[in-house]
Amino acid sequence: MVRFAVLGCGRIGRMHARNLARHPRAELAYVYDIVAEAAAETADATGARQAGDVDEILAAGDVDAVLIASSTDTHLDLLVRAVDAGKAVLCEKPIDLDLAKVDTSWQRIKHRKPTVMVGFNRRFDASFQALRDRIHAGEIGKLEQVVITSRDPGPPPLAYIEVSGGLFRDMTIHDFDMARYLLGDMHAVNAVGGNLVDPTIGQAGDIDSAMVSLIAKSGALCQISNSRRCAYGYDQRIEVFGEKGMLQAGNQRLTTVSFWGAAATEARDPVLNFFIERYTPAYHAEIDHFVDCVEKGTAPLVGYQDGREALRLADAALDSMRTGQTIRLD
């Protein structure tokens, strides 16, 4: 059994805590949140102990791994402390908002050869894994274009936006990682963004809509489309195009039933509402993979440097949007 503590019991922390509590090869020993009621509720729901502070968890001999699901601006400090305490770490995205700090922190901890995984859950989605496998198997020949559509059903609370690091570092970061997963490293970034959905997001200094173009080192092109609002649910689609054809991964629905009548044909259930519903199997697979890595001492499929590279792309996109220039990365 890999013994876990979860730090941060908000939207995603509670879900991870529940998944860990039910995992056959994991034991959820502790939960902690700076808001004691959030931790207490999660402790009640999972049977874990509620820690009084982070130090109690880091000092605990019966904790092998720490899952960091607290607010973004706390991740890196907790990650470094957990690694220094000898724990394996699964850290939610992004690892931090400051690339220089990400690099100096790595210099500080790398001698420990830590097991650190970043929560880019979409790499564990069966459809996106199949896209990658089939690209690599040569089914569409030379890969030329990737089109990623990623739209949330609605914006998060303003308090979340204010500490999120902005749309590119908070939301597009998943798509930057997916672009790297499918295409490898990038050569150039061009981005535009706007405040089209919610004026209060603009007043907080952020954007809520974006289009990003990437050129991969291979020469292939990628287009990412983001919105913080989508009337028909959580829009998560990827299309990959090559010399021999195209592969598409579409949205998912609760059932496959369709209605045909006088007013509409092919009417189907709405697409699954948001990340917890859409990526349920991926979150389970992510934990499975991390538990494997801790048990076997193997490197995670998505590690610290992947978190760093996605942040580098997010920073380049912000730079491009502000300057109107294409940002070259090499």
Ligand X SMILES: NC(=O)c1ccc[n+]([C@@H]2O[C@H](COP(=O)([O-])OP(=O)(O)OC[C@H]3O[C@@H](n4cnc5c(N)ncnc54)[C@H](O)[C@@H]3O)[C@@H](O)[C@H]2O)c1
Show the tokens assigned to 92: 């939610």
C-alpha neighbours within 13 Å on the C-beta side of residue 102? 23
Q: How far is the CB of 40 from ligand X (least distance, A)?
A: 12
Q: Which of residues 36-75 bind ligand X (CB under 6 A)?
A: 38, 69-72, 74
Could you say whether residue 121 binds ligand X (CB under 6 A)? yes
Q: Tell me the window of 32-40, 41-49, 108-116, 183-191 that interacts with ligand X (CB under 6 A).
A: 32-40
Indicate which single residue of 18, 27, 34, 268 sits in contact with ligand X (rule: CB under 6 A). 34
Show the tokens assigned to 166: 């902005």
CB-wise, 160 or 241, nearer to ligand X?
160
Q: How many residues sit in the footprint of ligand X (CB under 6 A)?
A: 24
Indicate which single residue of 9, 189, 214, 314 sits in contact with ligand X (rule: CB under 6 A). 9
CB-wise, 220 or 238, nearer to ligand X?
238
- Per DSSP bridges, beta strands 221-227 and 209-216 are antiparallel
Q: How far is the CB of 71 from ligand X (least distance, A)?
A: 4
Q: Name the residue with the smallest CB distance to ligand X.
A: 10
Q: How many CB atoms lie within 10 A of CB 197?
A: 19
Could you say whether residue 119 binds ligand X (CB under 6 A)? yes
Show the tokens assigned to 236: 């998560």
Distances (CA, A) of 228 to 40, 177, 196, 233: 31, 18, 9, 11
Q: How far is the CB of 34 from ligand X (least distance, A)?
A: 4
Residues written for the chain: 330
CB-wise, 140 or 178, nearer to ligand X?
178
Indicate which single residue of 5, 30, 33, 80 sits in contact with ligand X (rule: CB under 6 A). 33
Q: How far is the CB of 116 from ligand X (least distance, A)?
A: 15
Vertex 47 angle, CA 43 and 51, to 5°: 45
CB-wise, 35 or 264, nearer to ligand X?
35
Q: Tell me the window of 11-19, 129-137, 138-146, 304-312 that interacts with ligand X (CB under 6 A).
A: 11-19
Vertex 118 angle, CA 115 and 120, to 5°: 145
Could you say whether residue 300 binds ligand X (CB under 6 A)? no
Q: How far is the CB of 157 from ligand X (least distance, A)?
A: 8
Indicate which single residue of 26, 58, 92, 272 sits in contact with ligand X (rule: CB under 6 A). 92
* Amino acid in the structure at residue 128: F
In order, the DSSP letters of 31-71 are: EE-SSHHHHHHHHHHHTPEEPSSHHHHHH-TT--EEEE-S-
Distances (CA, A) of 256 to 19, 252, 269, 280, 297: 26, 9, 8, 18, 41
x/- site string to ligand X, residues 146 to 175, per CB under 6 A? --------------x---------x-----
Q: Is residue 176 exposed (0-12), middle (13-18) or buried (19+ Cβ within 10 Å)?
A: buried
Which residues contact ligand X (rule: CB under 6 A)? Answer: 7-13, 32-35, 38, 69-72, 74, 92-93, 119, 121, 160, 170, 275
